[in-house]
Amino acid sequence: MPPRPRWWHTLQESRRQACSAIDFYNRPGDKGSYLDFVVHMHLAWQNLLHAYFEKNGVDFNYKDKSGRPLKTKDGDVKTWELLRCAEEAYAENDPVRKNIEFFVGIRNKVEHRFQKSLIVATGARAHALVINYEAELTARFGDDHSLSSELRFPVFVQSLTPQGVEEQLEIRRKLPAKVKTYITRFEADLTDSVKGSERYEYRVLLTPLKGPKSEADLAVTFLKAESLSDEERQDLKSRSRTGSVIITEKQRDIYLKDALSPAKACTEVASRLPYVFQQHHFTKMWQKHGVRPATSDPSKERTDTRYCLYNAAHDNYVFTKAYVERCIKEIDTPEKFRAFFGKDPISNPE
């Protein structure tokens, strides 16, 4: 067997760091550490993006004015830090990027004595950080690299009484002023679409299941809000406020009015490049990125909803502006184009 490529080893380190992070988060009592969770997820994300860049021929080393790689004090080549990687990999207002940026900023503000308060205040964002990681891991490298075989749904105890809810609120009120200020200022600059995205903050409500069990049951069931009647939805809302019932809800965009057809998305990318970009180029990009299933795949709705959405009414796919930005960023120089497609670009005719 030939030796594994370098990016593969970087990816395995990324997966190891992610598992360590989740382990620290789920440990009970004083054995847990939110700071360790944040630090290890930081490393997991950085290694994930480094592995992706390396696999696709993207140079992620810092250079001096003469084009030579910069070195650290230890003599190692200086590579892009996580913020720089996120800038390269995602559009400016991508919720995944904003979620990463949030935790980069919060990293130096975690104090062990206040970590319970911080978990209450930012737990939904931490959940999104892990879910986004898994989504990116499988989308960029395939399902074989998923963490699903390494992790399981945690067993936990949580008081659901009104007194328990008040206790959680009291813990949150103990959050240090500097952290409250950071969260307020960070979110003041976010768009409503980012703040409302499950990719930025993943909020769940859980409920015990009653009735007979089937072999298909999982510990967690996701309910679509649109499948509930108005009466059921109102009943769930009223009961969840008392803390007596918790329902899992996963919100997912189905169609965006400002999304683009494949032809229009291709035209948008082509208009911002100095060389020829045609439909077969665009098709190869979405296939390599895995943002939508193959034409023969019966699960048509299984898309990466940040970038592509299935329109059931017309039985076709549309692409988001965030995906257009991602495509442009990945091939906006001849070097990047060559690395992605394996051939030199053709200059546009004058």
| Model confidence pLDDT, tens digit, residues 280-332 | 999 999 999 989 988 888 878 888 888 888 887 778 899 998 899 999 999 99
Tokens of 275: 């060389």
Q: Are residues 15 and 34 in the same domain?
A: yes
Q: Are residues 240 and 290 in the same domain?
A: no
Confidence of residue 19 (pLDDT cuts 50, 70, 90): very high
Sorting pLDDT into bands at 50, 70 and 90, what band is 5? Answer: very high
> What was the pLDDT predicted at 249?
35
Is 171 found in the same domain as 113? yes
Domain shared by 214 and 234, yes or no: yes
Output the CA torsion 9→14→18→19 (10° steps): 10
Say if residue 29 is in the same domain as residue 153: yes
If asked whether residues 174 and 220 sit together in one domain, one would say no
85 and 150, same structural domain?
yes
What does the pLDDT read at residue 267?
A: 94
Q: Are residues 241 and 221 in the same domain?
A: yes
Tell me the residue range of the domain where 194 lies. Answer: 6-201
Read off the pLDDT of residues 137-149 as tens digits, 9 standing for 90 and up: 988 888 888 887 7
**Does residue 257 lie within any of the structural domains?**
no
| pLDDT single digits (tens) 156-213 | 555 455 555 555 566 667 777 778 888 888 888 888 888 888 888 877 665 565 666 5
Residue where a domain stops, chosen among 201, 216, 237: 201
What does residue 63 show for φ and ψ, rounded to 5 degrees? -120, 155
CA distance 217 to 348: 55
Q: Give the end of a domain, one of 249, 278, 310.
A: 249
Determine the pLDDT at residue 258. Answer: 66
347 belongs to a structural domain: no
On whether residue 67 sits in a domain, the answer given is yes
Under 8 Å CB-to-CB from 40, ≥6 apart: which residues?
17, 18, 20, 21, 24
- Residues 212-269: pLDDT tens digits? 655 555 544 445 444 556 676 666 555 544 433 333 333 344 345 568 899 999 999 9
The answer to whether position 221 is within a domain reads: yes
Q: State residue 243's pLDDT score.
A: 38
Q: What does the pLDDT look like over 54-108, one tens digit per residue?
A: 998 889 999 888 888 888 888 888 999 999 999 999 988 899 999 999 999 888 7
Q: Is residue 20 in a domain? A: yes
**Domain-located, residue 303:** yes
Q: Which pLDDT score, from 0 to 100, does residue 206 have?
A: 58
Whether residue 197 sits in one domain with residue 314: no
* Predicted pLDDT of residue 199: 85
**Number of structural domains the chain divides into:** 3
Say how many CA atoms lie within 13 Å of 82 toward its Cβ: 23
Q: Is residue 184 one of the residues assigned to a domain?
A: yes
The answer to the question of residue 1 being in a domain is no
Shared-domain flag, residues 101 and 23: yes
Whole-angstrom Cα distance, residue 88 to residue 237? 40
Is 50 exceeded by the pLDDT of residue 270? yes
350 vs 97, higher pLDDT: 97
Which residues are within 8 A (CB) of 56 and not within 5 positions of it... i.e. 6 or more apart? Answer: 330, 339, 340
| Chain Cα centroid distance, residue 59 | 22
The pLDDT score that the predictor gives to residue 149 is 75
Give φ, ψ of 298 to 5 degrees.
Answer: -70, -20
Indicate the pTM of the whole model. Answer: 0.60
Query: Do 57 and 160 share a structural domain?
Result: yes
Phi, psi dihedral angles at 77 (to 5 degrees): -65, 135
User: Of 163, 182, 201, which one is at a domain's C-terminal end?
Assistant: 201
User: Alpha carbon of 193 to those of 13, 197, 205, 212, 321: distances in Å?
Assistant: 33, 6, 21, 39, 13
**Same domain, yes or no, for 186 and 334?**
no
Mean pLDDT of 27-45: 88
